[in-house]
Structure 1
Amino acid sequence: MLQSKSNRDIWSTMTIVIFSVYALFLLYPLFSLLITSVQDPGSGSFSLRYFSDFFSSAYYMEALWNSFKVTIAVTAISALVAVPLAYIMTTVKIKGAILVTTLIIISSVSPPFIGAYSWILLLGRNGVITNFFQNTLGIPVPDIYGFTGISLVLVLQLFPLVYIYTLGALRSVDNSLIEAAESMQCTGLQKMYKIIVPLIIPTLLAGSLLVFMRALSDFGTPMLIGEGYRTIPVLIFNEFISEVGGDAGFAAAISVIVVIIASLVFLLQKYISKKKSFTMSALKPIEAKNSTGVANIVAHTFVYGVTAIALLPRIYVIYTSFLETSGTVFVQRFSLDSYFMSFDRLGSSIQITFMLAIAAMVIIVIMSVFIAYLTVRRPNKINDTLDTVSMFPFIVPGSILGIALLASFNSGPILLGGTAFIMIISFAIRRLPYTIRSSAAILNQISKSVEEASISLGASNLKTFVKITLPMMASGIIAGSILSWINIFSELSTSIILYTGATRTMSIAIYTEVLRGSYGTAAALSTILTIVTVLSLLVFFKVTGKREVAI
């Protein structure tokens, strides 16, 4: 009895400790942000002036409408590209299908702002493609800036999320449903949109939600190629950071509006998914078949074309990193000067990124293991609430979390602003969901009987967890950790708020180099970042034995 009580106390204590971490570094900063948004800056009394100013101003409402236009367009186009792509890859034997899926995933792991920078080099006013069409063919090409450019960059960056989810869902569809549809003369695109799409609606909504949230919160892309096309993340950043005319209280109010919108979209997605959800068991999964004639040519052209366009900006950045450069001009001579300059001037950012990422990963692994165990093996109302809170950073844009942390810890009694610790905490809080979900998934597959057998032989619950459960969870923990690691390396929106000269990461260094017009060093750092993420992704594939990345 004493042992049982002791074990309960240990897990209860662990719940309290983890809750305390979230309360201090997530709930308290967000609550402080809410309080700031409804305070009069002069008297400190309750006031809705900031919200009134926002909704009564055409300038601010235009930014909100711009964000909605971009986000909705990106989500819709991503689905329109990803669903047919996943359907073709599932039903048609495509040569090099595994490589294609791997390349599509690789195209999505680098930060969106690198894609924006890449397309500046390709379709900017002095871009390679722009110059070719205008100078060689005499055909004017629309430039990459504004709504069109932002949407293009984000679609190519984010459609793989919908593709991966849809690909997984299609494997759960029983082929007998397809055969029944074909027997009723329902074929081709009609079969896909009348039979397949309704069956995978919950999964499609989950993937689309990921795209929606990331597009809504993206900061780097509109900053680089917006050129006056204002979006909410940029507006929040300018209001918070600007030394001339900036207002932290107003930035807080805008942040609250965005969090409310994101939360409503998240709840709507959950509601629709619950209404449309049902269980499918594919006794006879869909099998890819050989296609012939025009249909085969169209299928391969579409798959290879989408993959090539998605990879084009990354490939071109890698290519330009080996060219001689003079500011924004690349000379067609190969050279390693950009790499030498990067290591000479910005080498510290590489070291800082690795140190911050490793420190954050230690926190992520420890917390995710305990959260997964508490929510899966010891479900109760408190642990269920902990699970919900741990996923909340998923719907809070990075720039808003950064502002909340900086505003809360930029003065006593806890002074963290400008330190490496606040960067580490922000990375850990934002990227914990990946490892939590992966750890929980693998734990759900482990039979409780294994742990019960250990306890029946005299081992305590804690010893059983350490000696039995934890080793069996290893593959899920490693897989989730790699996804968290990849996303930490690509983090910009939170870092741009919190960093100082001593905590400048690779993403920030690349972003600032692009703004300065030092395209050579930006390309070299982008290539290094791409190599790190690709190698990490390959390790993930090796550990999991699959070609899917999902949360």
Structure 2
Amino acid sequence: MKKPNIWTGFTLAILCFFLLFVVYPLFLIMYQSVVDPETHALTFDYFTKFFGRKFYWSTLVNSFKVTICATLLAAIIGLPMAYVLRSFKIPYSKYVNILIVISYLSPPFIGAYAWIQLLGRNGFITQLVNSLFGVQFGGIYGFAGIVLVFSLQSFPLIYMYVSGALKNLDSSLNEAAESLGCNAFQRVTQIILPLVMPSLLAGSLLVFMRVFSDFGTPMLIGEGFKTFPVLIYTQFMGEVSTDDHFAAALCVIVVVITLFLFFLQRIVAKRYSYAMTALKPMQPVQAKGSQKFFAYLFVFGVAFIAMLPQLTVIFTSFLETVGGAVYTGKFSLMNYENTLFSKDNISIFNTYAFGLCAIGIVVVLGILISYLTARKPSLLTNILDTLTMFPYIIPGSVLGIALLSGFNSGILVLSGTALIIIISLTIRRMPYTIRSSTAIISQISPSVEEAAISLGASEFKSFRKIMVPMMLPGVLAGAIMSWITLISELSSSIILYTSSTSTLTVAIYAEVIRSNFGNAAAYSTILTLTSIVSLLIFFRLTHNEDVSV
């Protein structure tokens, strides 16, 4: 039997951290979902209540409708976008790629708010259409609007997955099919599409999980069309009536669904995977004639529409408003004066302070977890590896409810503190850094450490002096992606925040709900510019401006 060492200590310490802040809160939610609050007897009444009333279970049906339609549309846009950009020489394609990634990294609810400005009842495009065609267009609200926002927000994920697959595709297969008489359409449908299908399915399932668990967009533009995450939020945080135990039952249902989707994604990835080595990678060719026209129109048109919400937000942030909701048409800095220089406004400071604290923890734990799982495999590290993925799979609102339920009373009371938000951000976004760190470790030969140990260095000194410096560039790249996503986090923060721990995303959401669109635009612009700068730093560190998965 091996003696306990420092690595066992690290494994147990990190495992305790995840058991305390992930397993315990989720177990408590499961317990609350099947226990009567008065008699403490076992009961399934909350599940019966959900499945027995159409008002409740119809929200789950609505979520599936929205998610399936949005995923299909995202695939219909993302697949040809990746193919066209890989196949043809498109001017400024490097910048188009950056714009697509930026549109994905922005929070979905900002896109919803921006589309309200464009296609709401008093939106610019709505007024233009109504005046030109003499119609009474009701706006973007409801099912169609939710699907539109989610599709435009999610297609970049499909694009990145398929683009990565096309990068590894050997063009000799395409040339062989052409020599056998296959036309362009046949080559795409019979050769390329089957080969990229694993990546397409993997990306689609991730889009499905992301859309299914989002509540910000349907909350803003759903109106009468309620989805399942909105029901969870209103049952736990509603102003009229709340039912914590019923909300817990809803959380259990959504956890079961997302876990099923996660394991389905893993099965699909294993079953439909191809080892492709691009001995002769695809080289973009110069499009000609109508092919060139339609390729340019499609690429630049999609990129423009995807970035339209961000452009709208930035533009309207400089417009003067009356009462926060009515734009005068005059340019002004009043929205920034109301936000940046407001005495009681700490949401901007909180966003950066909480984010930096969370990133510091993410980097340290990410390095340790990836090293332990890659270099010190054991039962404990395998359990740890599985636990670190749980917060990524589980919707943020569910994690927020679980943390609030678990640490609202008892020995360790964290509700209302900055620490609980930092913990939530840390465990929610850590998988990005773990993934990049593990990829770096797999590229470093174990013989490097063995050489250091043979020269008298201890295992830990070898790790600290050799492995960490070699891993750092990849770790920092993953940390920046974690940073971009955590400063955009809404679903858990909206559950956990107080007036003193509000973040930018919470402030934006609150301003939109109060119809203070000018302030919301200013906050959104600050968040968008932060994401853009962070992404540019990511490109600089990785020396690669081609983001693909």
* TM-score interval for Structure 1 and Structure 2 normalised by the shorter chain: over 0.9
Match of residue 494, structure 2, among 492, 496, 505: 496
Q: CA deviation at 1:141?
A: 3.8
- Please, what TM-score do these two structures have when normalized by structure 1? 0.97
3-state SS of 1:503 partner? coil
Partner Cα distance (1:188, 1:140) in 2? 43
* Pick aligned residue for 2:8 from 6, 12, 23: 12
8 Å CA contact 2:25–2:405 kept in 1: the answer is yes
Q: Return closer, same or farther for 1:457/1:7 CA change in 2, 3 Å cut-off.
A: farther
CA contact (8 A) 2:94 2:546 kept: no
Q: Given the alignment of the two structures, is residue 309 of structure 1 paired with residue 305 of structure 2, yes or no?
A: yes
- Write out per-residue CA displacement over residues 192-242 of structure 1, whole angstroms, 9 at most, x where no aligned residue: 232212112222222112211110111110111000111111100110112
Provide the C-alpha distance between the structure 1 equivalents of 2:548 and 2:292, rounded to a whole number of angstroms.
Answer: 29
Residues 309-458 of structure 1 aligned to structure 2 (within 5 Å): 309-326=305-322, 327-345=324-342, 347-458=345-456
Displacement of 1:186 after TM fit?
2.7
Give the letter for the 1:352 counterpart: N
- For residues 161 and 437 of structure 1, the distance between their equivalents in structure 2, rounded to whole angstroms, comes to 16
Q: Are the counterparts in 1 of residues 202 and 268 from structure 2 also a CA contact under 8 Å?
A: no
What amino acid is the match of 1:438? S
2:236 to 237, 240, 260: 240
Match of 1:153 in 2: 149
The SS at the match of 1:311 is: helix
Q: Choose the corresponding residue for 1:76, options 68, 72, 76.
A: 72
Letter paired with 1:515: I
Match of 2:461 in 1: 463
Give SS of 1:324's match. Answer: strand
CA distance in structure 2 between the partners assigned to 1:273 and 1:436 by the alignment: 19
CA distance in 1, matches of 2:117, 2:52: 39
Report the alpha carbon displacement of residue 384 of structure 1 after superposing the two structures with TM: 1.8
Listed one character per residue, the Cα deviations across residues 271-311 of structure 1 (whole Å, up to 9, x for unaligned) are 12211112111111111111101111111110011000000
The corresponding residue for 1:65 is 61
Which of 22, 25, 29 is the matching residue for 2:25? 29
| Distance of 1:475 and 1:409 partners within structure 2 | 36
Runs of 4+ in 1 over 6 A off after TM superposition: none
1:143 aligns with 2:145: no
Deviations 1:35-82, CA, capped at 9 Å, x for gaps: 111112221111111111111111111100000011111111111110
Q: Is the 8 A contact 1:146 1:226 kept in 2?
A: yes
Give the number of equivalent residue pairs.
Answer: 547
Q: Which range moved further: 129-138 or 248-257? A: 129-138
Q: Deviation per CA, 1:230-284, whole angstroms, max 9, x where unpaired?
A: 1111100110112533110000101111110111111112112211112111111
CA RMSD, aligned part only?
1.5
Q: Where does the alignment leave 5 or more consecutive residues of structure 1 unmatched?
A: none
Aligned twin of 1:131:
127
Q: Contact (CA 8 Å) 1:166, 1:203: kept in 2 or not?
A: yes
Deviation at 1:189, TM superposition (A): 3.5
Structure-2 separation of matches of 1:299 and 1:139: 33
SS of the residue corresponding to residue 125 of structure 1 reads coil
Q: Which residue of 2 aligns with 1:164?
A: 160
**Counterpart in the other structure of 1:173:** 169
8 Å contact 1:7–1:462 — kept in the other structure? Answer: no
| Aligned residue in 2 for 1:544 | 542
Q: Secondary structure at the match of 1:325?
A: strand
2:476 to 458, 475, 478: 478
Measure how far apart 1:455 and its partner are. Answer: 0.9
**What is the correspondence of 1:162-311 to structure 2 with a 5 Å cutoff?**
162-311=158-307
AA aligned to 1:199 is L
CA deviation after TM superposition for structure 1 residue 139, in Å? 4.7
What fraction of aligned residue pairs are identical, expressed as a percent? 51
Letter matched to residue 342 of structure 1: T
For residues 70-123 of structure 1, the C-alpha deviation after alignment (integer angstroms, 9 at most, x for no partner) is: 111111111111011101111111111111101111111111111000000000
Are the equivalent residues in 2 in contact too, given 1:7–1:461 (CA < 8 A)?
A: no
CA distance in 2, matches of 1:248, 1:303: 47
TM-score by length of 2: 0.97
The letter for the 1-side match of 2:335 is S
Instruction: Determine the C-alpha separation between the residues in 1 that align with 2:127 and 2:483.
Output: 38
Deviations 1:474-507 (A, max 9, x none): 1111001101111111000000000000100010
- Structure 2 CA distance for partners of 1:549 and 1:40, relative to 1, 3 Å: farther
Looking at structure 2, the residues matched to 86 and 159 of structure 1 have their Cα atoms a distance apart, in angstroms, of 10
Q: Structure 2 CA distance, aligned partners of 1:309 and 1:189?
A: 26
Q: Is the 8 A contact 1:431 1:484 kept in 2?
A: yes
Q: Which residue of 2 aligns with 1:525?
A: 523
Residues in 2 aligned to 1:300 and 1:139: alpha-carbon distance in whole angstroms: 32
1:462 Cα deviation (Å)?
A: 0.3
